[in-house]
Amino acid sequence: MTTPIVGIDLGTTFSLVGYVEGGAPRIVPDPRTGDRLLPSVVHVREDGSVAVGWEPRRRRVVNVGSTVVSVKRLMGKGPDEVRREEPRLPYEVLDPVLGAGRVARLRVRGKVLTPPEVSAMVLRELRGWTAAAFGEEATRAVITVPAYFNDAQRQATRDAGRIAGLDVVRILNEPTAASLAYGLDRIGEGTVAVYDLGGGTFDLSILRVRKGVFEVLATNGDTRLGGDDVDAAVAAWLLAEAARETGLADLESDPEVREAALFEAEAAKCRLSVETATRVRLSVPRARLDWGTALSREQLEALSAPVVDRTVRPCRQALRDARLEAKDLSAVVLVGGQTRMPLVRRRVAEIFGCVGRCDLDPDEVVALGAAVQAGIIEGKVRGVTLLDVIPLTLGIEAMGGLMSKVLPRNTTIPCSVSEMYTTAVDGQNSVEIHVLQGEREMSRDNRSLARFQLKPIEALPAGLPRIEVTFAVDENGLLRVSAKDCRTLRQQGIEVVPTYGLTETEIHGMIEESYDRAEEDVESSLLASGRVEADLLVRRVRKALAEPDFASGDERVAIEAAVGDAEAAARGSDRLALLGALHQLEAAAQEAMQRRADRVLGAALRDRRIEELL
């Protein structure tokens, strides 16, 4: 039996997994605890093993240098970009190994990991949850990304899925997923804006819903704007106040103090979504810090307003791109934990002139929508079609460092366009093409996606060769490039390795490593259960040996020897040796145990009537 395709919301703060059952999407919970949200937090233990989820999240302050949070912000980026954008990461950012891709690497407690590998750990944990629901782990998934993710970030997300052993059948935009979760029955036909403010990213999409077709008209946003920025603003204020009142210097440069301030800032922020005032306490004994303050909702709003206000421009731009005005919208849907903040809801009402809808849990709505998309692919959900768009303009570098636009933003996907190239110099036998993504005029201000060489080209006088290059964006928003020499009609495949992506070889290496690890993990859990079994059996046999009539002579000697062997094997780490010793012990003690059982049963039966026993 194949397992259902699952829908995964791989979030900055939390991740979730869902699937469609009986025509409706549902969330798969953690089978051990019933939790529906998995914190996207990874802790590297001293022995190099990793833990994912609530425990690492709870302990992230004390484990600051060995814990990775908000890794989604680092996806698809090079080391320089990461260092520039996240100057305060509590772990080292390494340059790539020579000859490998250009993706950033993180050294977390001596373990070197790329952001896709860290995300893969979160995905693997969610896969584990699905085993309890389906009998075996899911192997295929739809994974959501912010609509505003560029090609490199999408590729990195897909790589994470592959490293986690998942066939990523679709990369889906989060706001589009949210509108699918609301579905026709909730929002009806009309034009809907989806306002998605999560932990790390802001997305705004405008969709037209007509006759079961969900058509994205425009999308805009900011991949570096979210609840984390509110936490950072509040934490900075807390640290400044704490420094002023306690006279302690350099609080800001102590990573543990900073992490504690962020943690408390976030907790206070969430409390202030329902309360109007709260208390915040910063306690880091090592730094001799133990300080508290009151914080009102009003103060929080003053600190967060600059962050929340940054969502206004993308909303207006998306409306302009869709050639709509706010009054044309039939509904605004709220997505992302940060939209629980009353200030955010007021801003949304001001921008769009109507109250944002939040009838579905903003934490779950994206995963539910991803599950619906999985259901559409599997044919379990019918009558719904999705037409998504590319979020950013794709282009190539032209003469003079200008960006020549090839596919403008908000073009419906899948889409493709062909451009004709030729040579500038006589006898030139190759052409370099630099693919860019972004809205700026100059190439250097846009994101470099890939560079590749078209070769060999027939050596002809300048301007004679005619090479047709086709840029195609698939339904995942991922770019493919192919080229054809129009004179020879020779088709050329071009491998487009994103500038900040992982190479195929690296991905394979990581997949293999995770298989090796999986074997190691299975091996150690089998060994642990073998030890438990040994402990139980040894105790039972030892108890029986204490009875004088249990066994005597050679039989007793053999049983005692087998008990000793089993105990020694349980102290070692050879699982097969332990299994062998257990079999030996069972065999040696079997007859004596049987005789003992008969005696006990006989004694119990004596003097009792048959009816009583039945």
Q: Which residues are catalytic?
A: 9, 72, 174, 196
CB-wise, 228 or 259, nearer to ligand AMP? 228
In whole angstroms, the minimum distance from the beta carbon of 341 to ligand AMP comes to 4
CA 412 vs. chain centroid, Å, equals 26
List all residues 6 or more positions away from 235 whose beta carbon is below 8 Å from its beta carbon: 258, 261, 262, 264, 265
Helix (H) or strand (E) holding 183: helix 174-187
Nearer to ligand AMP, 231 or 397 (CB): 231
Q: Which residues contact 88 (CB under 8 A, 6 or more apart)?
A: 255, 258
For 333, the enclosing helix (H) or strand (E) is strand 331-335
- List the beta strands (DSSP E) in 460-575: 467-473, 479-485, 490-493
- Cβ of residue 345: shortest distance to ligand AMP, in angstroms? 10
Considering beta carbons, is residue 180 or 450 the nearer one to ligand AMP? Answer: 180
Strand segments (E) across 178-304: 190-197, 202-210, 213-222, 277-284, 289-296
- Total residues found in the chain within this entry: 614
Assigned token pair, 270: 């969430």
In the bound state with ligand AMP, the residue whose beta carbon lies nearer, of 12 and 448, is 12
Least distance in Å: CB of 231 to ligand AMP? 6
Would you say 304 and 230 are in contact if contact means Cβ atoms under 8 Å apart? yes
Token pair 């994912």 in the structure block, residue: 52
Residue 147 and residue 205 in contact, taking contact as beta carbons nearer than 8 Å: yes
CA geometry: angle 381, 386, 388, nearest 5 deg: 150
Cβ atoms of 314 and 220 closer than 8 Å: yes
Contact positions vs ligand AMP (CB under 6 A): 11-14, 198-199, 226-228, 266, 269-270, 273, 336-338, 340-341, 363
Closer by beta carbon to ligand AMP, 102 or else 258:
258
CB of 50: closest distance to ligand AMP in angstroms?
21
Which residues make Cβ contacts (< 8 Å) with residue 62, sequence separation at least 6?
A: 256
Instruction: Pick the closest to residue 396 from 452, 458, 348 (CA basis).
Output: 452
Q: Rank residues 227 and 369 by Cβ distance to ligand AMP and give the closer one.
A: 227
Q: Give the three-state DSSP class for 105.
A: strand
Nearest distance, CB of residue 278 and ligand AMP, angstroms: 12
Closest separation in Å from C-beta 70 to ligand AMP: 9
Question: Quick one: 272 or 582, whose CB is closer to ligand AMP?
Answer: 272
By beta-carbon proximity to ligand AMP, the closer residue of 302 and 442 is: 302
CB of 272 to ligand AMP, least distance (A): 7
Torsion angles phi and psi, residue 359, rounded to 5: -65, -25
Least separation, in Å, of the C-beta of 226 and ligand AMP? 6
Looking only at the bridges linking them, the beta strands covering 385-387 and 415-421 are: unpaired
Residue facing ligand AMP at closest CB distance:
227
Q: Are 76 and 501 in contact (CB under 8 A)?
A: yes
* Consecutive H or E run containing 587: helix 575-605
Count H helices and E strands in the chain, helices first.
15, 27
Fill in the amino acid letter for 591.
Answer: E
